[in-house]
Amino acid sequence: MKPRILVAREVFPEVIDRLQEHFEVDDNQADLVLGGEGLKARLADKAGALTAATDPVTAEVIAAAPGLKAICNFAVGYNNIDLAACTRAGVVATNTPGVLDDTTADLAWALLMATARRLPAAERWLRNGEWKGWQFIQWLGSDIHHATLGILGMGRIGQAVARRGAGFEMKVIYHNRTRLPADKEAACRARWVDKDTLLREADFLVLVLPYSPATHHIIGAAELALMKPTAHLINIARGGIVDDEALISALRQRRLSGAGLDVFEGEPKFNPGFLELDNVALAPHIGSSSRATRMAMAMTAADNLIAALSGQRPPNLLNPDAWR
């Protein structure tokens, strides 16, 4: 008998087909948000699951699934998973690093350029029929070329963002807990600085660090106060890294020139104050959302699950102690 698994959110039919070669699949192609109770009910008799960042794999969910052996996120982030509870229960957990780096970096640049040149507000103005003619001093934005690109969090995605800065002849600075090796710094044309220097010098600050209790509100009122009033903040990481209320206040008072945001605290709900601002570019958490990349993410998660339930060490294992 094939092991039973859950696919917790809608995925491409090709992914379901691949999984069905190995498992009895309980899918969620209706794409209902299961939540904690729904996930607990559906996982009770399963050996494994493909989960998304929206699926709260809590200690309670894990305890209710005595046969569970593997949780495979189709995301690079995994703050939805109680990793310690997985390890205690002998449940391996995996993610999908690497396959979404370039696509997410592209989205960072889309937001950066949109906020620099005030595209969202300019488009609304045009669509509302307010454009009555060309003017010399009209819709003045910020130059990207030769500006200073700051990156907080210099993992794979951060490095991909940095490399793109070369095309605009930008000065690239970054802060990371661990400094990159010299060859990687050279490839990114980037220089390590302390966090306060990063905040003070960046014309465009891109956030690319994982969410954890340690990074909660790592950008708050005090940090925003260090930034130039002409600077722009770009968040493609996770909601909760930025204190959204403090950011709205800074943008409203023009203590910060603009922001480009793909993630929010409490999403899909978010602070309605953002909608009152004309100096933000907003996106609904679509950093990795190209068809090719989302397919690669789902297939990578499927490969992780197939390996884990076949007795092979999954390639993207997050908790090796559970495997041992």
Q: Are 48 and 68 in contact (CB under 8 A)?
A: yes
pLDDT tens profile 36-76: 899 999 999 999 999 998 899 999 999 999 999 999 999 98
pLDDT at 11: 96
pLDDT at 48: 97
User: Which domains are present in the chain?
Assistant: 4-99+291-323 (3.40.50.720), 101-282 (3.40.50.720)
| From 60, 201, 245, 267, the catalytic residue | 267
| From 185, 238, 265, 294, the catalytic residue | 238
Hey, what are 118's tokens? 């005030």
pLDDT at 77: 86
pLDDT tens profile 200-234: 999 999 999 998 899 999 999 999 999 999 999 99
**Distance between CA atoms of residues 101 and 165, nearest Å:** 15
pLDDT at 35: 86
Q: Is 285 a catalytic residue?
A: yes
Q: Is 267 a catalytic residue?
A: yes
Q: Give whole-number Cα distances, 17 to 162, 172, 232, 292, 297, in Å.
A: 38, 44, 44, 17, 15
pLDDT tens profile 143-199: 999 999 999 999 999 999 999 999 999 999 999 999 999 999 999 999 999 999 999
Hey, what are 106's tokens? 């592209």
Q: What is the mean pLDDT of the chain?
A: 96
| From 285, 291, 313, 324, the catalytic residue | 285
**Does residue 1 have a pLDDT over 90?**
no
pLDDT tens profile 238-289: 999 999 999 999 999 999 999 999 999 988 999 999 999 999 999 999 999 9
Name the band, by pLDDT with cuts 50, 70 and 90, for residue 33: confident
pLDDT at 307: 97
Half-sphere exposure of 161 (CA within 13 A, CB side): 34
Our CA angle for 251, 253, 255, nearest 5°, is 70
